[in-house]
């Protein structure tokens, strides 16, 4: 029983982490491109969360059902090991391809398409704002030249426009970093595990990673599984901590602790940001 519970929790964690990243990508796409200014309602968010958990559990059921405790006396290994025991190799391979599709191929495609659309939309909007700033700056130069003097008011307005331009460019670089990093990190952390799992099913695992007569395939699978689990943590943290509004909320929360005011006073500066 414990064998199935532990294995099932690990598998569900991978699925729900991946599906959550997809949901975030789709949510950003609809909020920024399709229906700007229309936030997701709480009831719909709860429904989507429940749906993702149900799909994750259903996708894990075949894996949990075929988890068994096995002994390996033929290779002189003592004890029992929790591993998969399928009725035939074809059903296991079908399930492996199914997991590859819903845990990597489809999510990676969805994230790439959504973030590419979001990036294109934000780039056009930033370009429009930069064009507007440039036109205002040129107008100020013309007005100053026509008046025959460079007044203090003109200088302050130009300084404000220059600072506004810097903020727009900084925001564009930050958005680009967030979107590209989320897709790249998901690919780097999830792809190795899916490749190793697929190779283990369609090739002789003893030939996959052997050295001096020892088979290290199981160890390789553990390492790639660890990387895949990291994606469940890395992407949400990356998005959250690169988002100034999230950092402000965290620092505001820390301000209530006695040891935090000095740190908060040095770090926190209110900013006007756009949620990505």
Please indicate, yes or no, if residue 75 is contained in any of the structural domains: yes
Strands (E), the chain: 67-72, 77-84, 210-211, 214-215
Helices 2-29 and 152-202: crossing angle in degrees, nearest 10, is 140
Output the DSSP codes for 196-246: HHHHHHHS-GGGTSEETTEE-HHHHHHHHHHHHHHHHHHHHHHHHHT-HHH
In a domain, 188, yes or no: yes
- Structural domain including 25 reads 1-256
In a domain, 273, yes or no: no
Identify whether 270 is part of a domain: no
- With a cut of 50, which residues of the chain have pLDDT below it? 261, 263-276
pLDDT on residue 79 = 65
Q: Report if residue 261 sits inside a domain.
A: no
Q: What is the CATH number of the domain that holds 145?
A: 1.20.1070.10
pLDDT value of position 49: 92
**What total of structural domains would you count in the chain?**
1
Q: Is 267 domain-assigned?
A: no
What is the predicted pLDDT for the residue at 176?
73
The answer as to whether 265 is a domain residue is: no
Q: Is residue 238 part of a domain?
A: yes
């Amino acid at each position: 029983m414990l064998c199935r519970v532990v294995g099932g929790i690990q598998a569900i964690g991978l699925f729900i982490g991946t599906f959550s990243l997809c949901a975030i990508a789709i949510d950003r796409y609809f909020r920024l491109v399709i229906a700007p200014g229309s936030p997701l309602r709480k009831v719909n968010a709860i429904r989507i969360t429940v749906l993702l958990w149900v799909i994750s559990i259903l996708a894990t059921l075949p894996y949990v059902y075929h988890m068994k405790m096995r002994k390996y006396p033929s290779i002189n290994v003592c004890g029992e090991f929790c591993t998969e025991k399928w009725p035939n190799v074809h059903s296991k391979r079908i399930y492996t391809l199914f997991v590859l599709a819903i845990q990597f191929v489809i999510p990676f495609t969805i994230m790439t398409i959504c973030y590419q659309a979001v990036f294109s939309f934000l780039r056009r909007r930033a370009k429009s704002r930069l064009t507007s700033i440039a036109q205002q700056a040129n107008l100020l130069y013309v007005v100053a030249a026509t008046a025959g003097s460079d007044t203090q008011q003109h200088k302050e307005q130009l300084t404000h426009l220059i600072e506004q331009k810097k903020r727009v460019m900084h925001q564009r670089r930050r958005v680009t970093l967030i979107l590209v990093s989320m897709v790249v990190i998901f690919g780097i952390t999830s792809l190795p595990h899916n490749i190793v799992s697929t190779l283990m099913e369609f090739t002789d695992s003893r030939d996959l990673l052997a050295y001096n007569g020892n088979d290290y395939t199981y160890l390789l699978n553990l390492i790639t599984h660890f990387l895949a689990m990291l994606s469940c943590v890395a992407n949400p943290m990356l998005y959250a901590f690169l988002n100034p509004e999230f950092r402000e909320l965290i620092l505001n929360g820390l301000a209530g602790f006695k040891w935090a005011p000095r740190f908060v006073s040095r770090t926190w500066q209110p900013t006007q940001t756009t949620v990505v």
